[in-house]
Amino acid sequence: MNFDIDRLLRRNIRNLKPYSSARDEFSGEAAVFLDANENPYNSPWNRYPDPHQRILKEKVCEIKHVPTEKIFLGNGSDEPIDLLFRAFCEPAKDNVVSINPTYGMYRVAADTNNIAVNQVALTSDFELDAGSVLAAVTAETKIIFLCSPNNPTGNALDNCGILQIISNFNGLVVVDEAYIDFCPEKSLLPDLDKYPNLVILQTFSKAWGMAGLRLGMAFANEKIIEVLSRIKYPYNLNILTQQKGLELLAGEQLKNEWVKIILKEREKMIRNLLLYPFVIKVYPSDANFVLVQVYDPRGIYNYLVDEKIIVRDRSSIALCEGCLRISIGSPEENATLMEAFDQLI
Ligand SMILES: *Cc1c(COP(=O)(O)O)cnc(C)c1O
């Protein structure tokens, strides 16, 4: 493996000097701030937020055991996905490789940046075929996107296959671990230091229950993080998100309890679903949702909408014929779903 970040970066990004904000030039304690054209009234909302999110990053460092230089915080993990394209992929020239089916945002970010996506099908049981992924790489491939546990299939990919890809590709490998809190033992985060081309995405939107705050993370070697930080909007995380995020991150215990309940509910949901005659298959899940193959997915979807229950119809997606994706809700919500299904038989 021959990883050289300068070779990989777009030339304009390599030479880019970032916007220098008032809060960059002076960030210490002071009595009077007259440097940023802020309004002196309406404290504390009148002040720009910390562009480096220092306090929040310290907290994330403590939770994730990753030094702050290797942490990027963004407006959801959608932000680092887009920034990776902008930093490394030359529009109309470079390409990325992704698995199929997978999370739709990689494709949207690729289209926005005019970057082609070479999609590689997972096997019929949604496993990763590392050889086919590597075979899809061309001279113009800058990033390989993997997602584990994968959305919408729910399964974690085999880490041996992922590591084989990381070790045999000169570009970046992004492993999206949005659902990793539901199977923490499968995370590649402990291996981060071994692989200079590995970018791990995580989020506080799922297990931590903060989807509305928009707070996502990228972990990577400090050179990659430096690039993302250089091209982000200076104030990408507003004061409310930084403060509320910090406050809620004190509740790791609570998050662990939620995960425990959700995992128990998931197993109950799987057992119950298998009892219905319209259910063909429930795929194994490492996440907080299950992919369920049914007869007449559209009919069942529409019936549930009439019952005021919304699930995700994934039946038109490759390898997901007939499938609905169902998030694991509270015990009460899950019981409501089962009562609705009871009326179908
Ligand atoms: C939900 C999800 C995310 C989360 O995105 P945020 O922007 O952090 O809310 C990222 N990746 C995958 C695969 C997801 O399913």
3-state secondary structure of 198: strand
For a mutational test of ligand 1's pocket, the pick from 60, 75, 78, i.e. the residue with the most ligand atoms closer than 8 A to its C-beta, is 78
- The candidate with the shortest Cα–Cα distance to 331, out of 272, 250, 243, 246, is 272
Ligand 1 proximity of 75 Cβ (cutoff 6 Å): no
Protein residue whose Cα sits closest to atom 3 of ligand 1: 178
DSSP 328: -
Do 83 and 194 share a domain, yes or no? yes
pLDDT over 90 at 30, yes or no: no
Identity (one letter) of the amino acid at 106? Y
For a mutational test of ligand 1's pocket, the pick from 72, 81, 103, i.e. the residue with the most ligand atoms closer than 8 A to its C-beta, is 103
Residue 342 burial (CB count, 10 A): 11
pLDDT tens across 196-252, in order? 999 999 999 999 999 999 999 999 999 999 999 999 999 999 999 999 999 999 999
Do 241 and 275 share a domain, yes or no? no
Residues 198 and 195: their CA atoms lie apart, in Å, by: 5
CA distances for 204 relative to 63, 179, 207, 214, angstroms: 12, 10, 7, 8
**What separation in Å is there between the alpha carbon of 77 and the centre of ligand 1?**
6
Residue 1 confidence (pLDDT): 63
Ligand 1 proximity of 203 Cβ (cutoff 6 Å): yes
Residue 19 confidence (pLDDT): 86
CATH number of 336's domain: 3.90.1150.10
Residue with tokens 């197993």: 267
Do 241 and 163 share a domain, yes or no? yes
Beta bridge partners, 72, equal 218
28: containing domain: 5-250
Number of structural domains the chain divides into: 2
Do 205 and 294 share a domain, yes or no? no
Q: What is the mean pLDDT of the chain?
A: 97
pLDDT tens across 69-124, in order? 999 999 999 999 999 999 999 999 999 999 999 999 999 999 999 999 999 999 99
pLDDT over 80 at 321, yes or no: yes
CATH number of 206's domain: 3.40.640.10
pLDDT over 80 at 2, yes or no: no
Do 202 and 59 share a domain, yes or no? yes
Residue 114 confidence (pLDDT): 98
Beta bridge partners, 146, equal 175
Compute the average pLDDT of residues 315-341: 98
pLDDT over 90 at 20, yes or no: no
Compute the average pLDDT of residues 253-272: 98
Do 195 and 337 share a domain, yes or no? no
pLDDT tens across 143-199, in order? 999 999 999 999 999 999 999 999 999 999 999 999 999 999 999 999 999 999 999
Residue 145 confidence (pLDDT): 98
Pair 258, 207: CB distance under 8 Å: yes
**What separation in Å is there between the alpha carbon of 41 and the centre of ligand 1?**
37
Residue 272 confidence (pLDDT): 98
Do 213 and 149 share a domain, yes or no? yes
Ligand 1 proximity of 178 Cβ (cutoff 6 Å): yes
Do 182 and 63 share a domain, yes or no? yes
Q: Which of 186, 220, 250 is the last residue of a domain?
A: 250
**What separation in Å is there between the alpha carbon of 170 and the centre of ligand 1?**
26
- Give the gyration radius of the chain's Cα atoms: 22
Provide the pLDDT confidence category of residue 329 given band limits of 50, 70 and 90.
Answer: very high
Ligand 1 proximity of 78 Cβ (cutoff 6 Å): yes
Element (H, E) at 339: helix 331-342
For a mutational test of ligand 1's pocket, the pick from 100, 205, 290, 312, i.e. the residue with the most ligand atoms closer than 8 A to its C-beta, is 205
Do 199 and 257 share a domain, yes or no? no
Ligand 1 proximity of 204 Cβ (cutoff 6 Å): no
